[in-house]
Amino acid sequence: MDPVGACIGARGVRIQNIVAELNGEKIDVIPYSPDLAKFVVSAIAPAEVVKVIIDEE
């Protein structure tokens, strides 16, 4: 099962409904990762990430 595909829905129906509720605001659906660095890299794709530093303080 593809979690991102499940959120988007067949032919994007689910995402289209959400975008309509947000008055056309564009959104991205990204897969969750418990590894915060991987999650950040996914969130800003397709930008090329050189380094992610997590400050735990």
Over the stretch 19-53, which tens digit does the pLDDT of each residue have?
A: 999 999 999 999 999 999 999 999 999 999 999 99
pTM metric for this prediction:
0.67
Look at residue 12 and tell me if it is in a domain.
Answer: yes
Look at residue 55 and tell me if it is in a domain.
Answer: no
Nearest to 24 by CA among 15, 32, 36: 15
Q: Over 80: is that where the pLDDT of 1 sits?
A: no
pLDDT band at 14; cut points 50, 70, 90 = very high
Look at residue 51 and tell me if it is in a domain.
Answer: no
The reported pLDDT for the residue numbered 4 is: 87
Look at residue 36 and tell me if it is in a domain.
Answer: yes
Do the beta carbons of residue 31 and residue 4 sit within 8 Å?
yes
pLDDT band at 15; cut points 50, 70, 90 = very high
d(CA 36, CA 14): 26
- The tally of domains found in the chain comes to 1
